[in-house]
Amino acid sequence: TGTNASGAHHFPGMRNDLILRAARGQQTERAPVWVMRQAGRYLPEFRKLRESHDFFTCCRTPSLATEITLQPIRRYSGLLDAAIIFSDILVIPQAMGLTVEMLPSKGPHFPAPLETPKDVARLHKRVDVHKELGYVFDAITMTRRELAGEVPLIGFCGAPWTLMAYMIEGGGSKGFEKAKRWLYDYPEESKELLQRIADVCVDFLVGQVKAGAQLLQVFDSWAGELSPAHFRTFSLPYLRSIASSVKDRLACSSTQCVPMICFAKGALGHSLSDVAKAGYDVVALDWTVEPAQARKVVDAAMPGSAPSKGAGANEAGHRVALQGNMDPSVLYASKEAIEVEVEKMLRSRKGGFGGEGAYIANLGHGITPGVDPEHLRAYLKAIHRYSREINAE
Ligand code: CP3
């Protein structure tokens, strides 16, 4: 039947658990690597499939979502250490009752965004994630079976502030003026909306783990639009409560706790130590942060630097791991330049990420549609080569 007596799925054993070990703060024989948006438009096989299927149809059809998730795993066989379920952060606004379309070459579009706090009444009062987002859970379970233990599967959701920003702007935006205006004009109503989104995030992430996700990432892609004070008021508290609620809920349902990654893009220049203390196992870094500096700040931030826990230990008792952080634009440069940048990231004179463990290699943001897939291969190979080399020194 695929489920055991307690209703949990059983899946084939893992043949590669590097990323799970690194996420739990351990040293690994080499740095595990995956790439945000690894299943996406830079891949010709993805573009081919999109010719005959609408974007959200791909998200809602488990067999299509599974196929797209596996495309990069097949193409870069042996080079990627995780799959990320094909979906989008905007499935939560849809589940809450808003219409979202994906317009060709324009990106996400909400025909009727939230204009004033009165519009919040248009959102569903209670969101049953099994009813609204069960297709994501089905896609995860199907993908876990298909992966057959080759690499772990990552689940994800958007963070409350980033989702609120889309729900008010109605799509991508240069300055997010409408959403930021809410924070000044309607702070209490903004907090209520953020809390409602956070509650859905928690149910959604817990459901993903029960369906088979082995690692979770929360994407606060527009955290960097906020002032430091607004980040601390309107983003960080919700990031924190998502981590603690997901961990509490998983413990009480006795599903094994999975590591969680927090990506607060653009906010780490002012808030890295706060994010390090937010209850996540891994802090994802964008490319504006210096690797050695980040390691120092994160280790110093943790109250758990008690000898029993070691520097940088979190509630789970392990060192907070780092993820990142090459500028995705480097993938447009020559393969030689890519290798040079990878080596710098892992081993610079100022100290890189390599050799210390508690590290997952990735880009500092998603891979972009114009990248040559062979350049991504050069990046992945360079990570394997240099991290092994550095670990052996
Ligand atoms: O990482 C993966 O491979 C898993 C799939 C994934 C997608 N979106 C697929 C996608 C993930 C993790 C996301 C997250 C996501 N979606 C974020 C957070 C990460 C980030 O990049 O900051 C955000 C902000 C979104 C919202 C969104 N969805 C945007 C801004 C866009 C691009 C619009 C455009 O045309 O540039 C999307 C669309 C999207 N999501 C695509 C893919 C593969 C491309 C759409 C297409 O095929 O037409």
Cα–Cα distance, 377 to 343 (Å, whole number): 15
Q: How many CA atoms lie within 13 A of 306 on its CB side?
A: 7
Q: Atom 40, ligand 1: which residue's CA is nearest?
A: 88
What is residue 353's DSSP assignment? S
Helix ranges (DSSP H) in 53-186: 55-60, 62-75, 91-95, 129-147, 160-169, 177-185
76 pLDDT above the threshold of 50: yes
CATH number of 18-392: 3.20.20.210
Spatial CA neighbour of 351 closest among 270, 271, 285, 295: 295
Average pLDDT across the chain, whole number: 93
For ligand 1, residues with CB inside 6 Å are: 36-41, 50, 55, 84, 86-90, 102, 107-108, 156, 172, 219, 221, 365-366
8 pLDDT above the threshold of 90: no
> Phi first, then psi: what are they for 223, rounded to 5°?
-55, -35
How remote is the CA of residue 37 from the centroid of ligand 1, in Å? 7
166 pLDDT above the threshold of 70: yes
How remote is the CA of residue 141 from the centroid of ligand 1, in Å? 21
How remote is the CA of residue 201 from the centroid of ligand 1, in Å? 17
Q: What percent of the chain has pLDDT over 70?
A: 93
Pocket test for ligand 1, best of 42, 45, 69, 89 (most atoms within 8 A of CB): 89
Pocket test for ligand 1, best of 70, 88, 204 (most atoms within 8 A of CB): 88
Confidence band of 271 (pLDDT split at 50, 70, 90): very high
The pLDDT of residue 304 = 53
pTM of the predicted model as reported, rounded to 2 decimal places: 0.95
The pLDDT of residue 354 = 82
26-41 pLDDT, tens digit per residue, is 999 999 999 999 999 9
Cα–Cα distance, 228 to 233 (Å, whole number): 9
Confidence band of 352 (pLDDT split at 50, 70, 90): confident
Q: Where are the domains of the chain?
A: 18-392
Q: One-letter amino acid identity for 250?
A: L
Q: Which tokens in the block code for residue 214? A: 């082995």
> Which residues are known catalytic residues?
37, 41, 50, 88, 166
Spatial CA neighbour of 206 closest among 267, 272, 166, 255: 255
ipTM higher than 0.90?
yes
207-253 pLDDT, tens digit per residue, is 999 999 999 999 999 999 999 999 999 999 999 999 999 999 998 66
- Secondary structure string (H, E, C) spanning 36-86: CCCCCCCCHHHHHHHHHCCHHHHHHCHHHHHHHHHHHHHHCCCCCCCEECC
The pLDDT of residue 309 = 47
Collapsing DSSP to helix, strand or coil, 216 comes out as strand
Q: What percent of the chain has pLDDT over 90?
A: 86
